[in-house]
Amino acid sequence: MRKIIIITMLFTTAIFAKLNIAVTYNYLGEVTKAIGGDLVDVTVLSSPKLDPHFITPKPSLIAKLRRADLLIINGGQLEIGWLPPLLRRANNSKINLGNSGFLDVSGAVELIDKPKSVSRAYGDIHPDGNPHFALDINNIIPIAKLISMKLSQLEPKNSSIYNSNYNSFSSKMERLANSLKEQYKSCQGKKVIQYHELFNYALKAYGVESLATIEPLPGISPSSKHTLKVINLIKENNIETILQDVYHEKKTAKFISNKTGAKVNIVPHDVGAINEANSLEDFYKIVANRICQ
């Protein structure tokens, strides 16, 4: 047994020449790979097919955190339900809060939907504001900037590489953002409903208005009373689109769709949430397309 441990340690040390980065969600992995290139090894802790609020705290995640030089999280309390006990157990002081190997990207963007008053009577709310900011392509650029700054801080000798990677990444994203904005201009003023307030940042970017959510309160399962209310609202406002995520139950959305004729669009919340959205570019293209379609 001891031999195995020693061999594994030696082996992992050899790999450690690269910066070992753990990120909580897939989109952060994509950005980090784009900035870090061959100089980093990226491990994504969660599956993009699952609810980002509730990731199973598997023991294997502790092992991944234990070996990380840098941990990049979404923040805005999106990870509060699963990450803290794993971090505590991994006890890797490099990546603990307040140390240089910990990065919360929510600081790079402006959070919207900050609740005026905070109480669990309103369901599972996020006191700092809506944490699903990765849905807006315009937010990915400052996030990439922050990540490139962090990588440069940890490895000053490679900072010029990180910088130039950032420059090409941001101009690519800017071009895509502009073309999507142009392409979906007609989308402005469109009204939709969604399951959870998951797509607000993308809706804001394209001027779409969300009139209701299928869940009565964040984290509370749909009730028949609330569903009836949503159906009436759809009829009154001639809403044609219901935005549904991949991980919640889809029965309620289908039921509402049958009653109203509104179309259910499955919108990915992260890169890889649906098979077609396998890169950041495709992800943002599909998000825009399925919201505005």
Interface contacts to another protein, rule CB under 8 A: 5, 8-9, 12, 47, 50-51, 54, 56-60, 62-63, 66-67, 80-86, 88-93, 96, 98, 120, 123-124, 219-221, 247-249
Q: Which is nearer to another protein, 88 or 263 (CB)?
A: 88
Nearer to another protein, 88 or 185 (CB): 88
Q: Which is nearer to another protein, 207 or 216 (CB)?
A: 216
Q: Report the nearest approach of another protein to the CB of residue 184 (Å).
A: 28
Minimum Å distance from CB 278 to another protein?
16
Joined tokens for residue 270: 């992260």
Phi, psi of 192 (to 5 degrees): -140, 170
| Rounded least distance, CB 109 to another protein, Å | 17
Identity of the amino acid at 245:
D
**Smaller CB distance to another protein: residue 75 or 147?**
75
> How far apart are CB 32 and another protein at their closest, in Å?
20
Torsion angles phi and psi, residue 25, rounded to 5: -125, 160
With respect to another protein, which residue has the nearer C-beta, 127 or 261? 127
Q: Cα(first)–Cα(last) distance of the chain, in Å?
A: 58
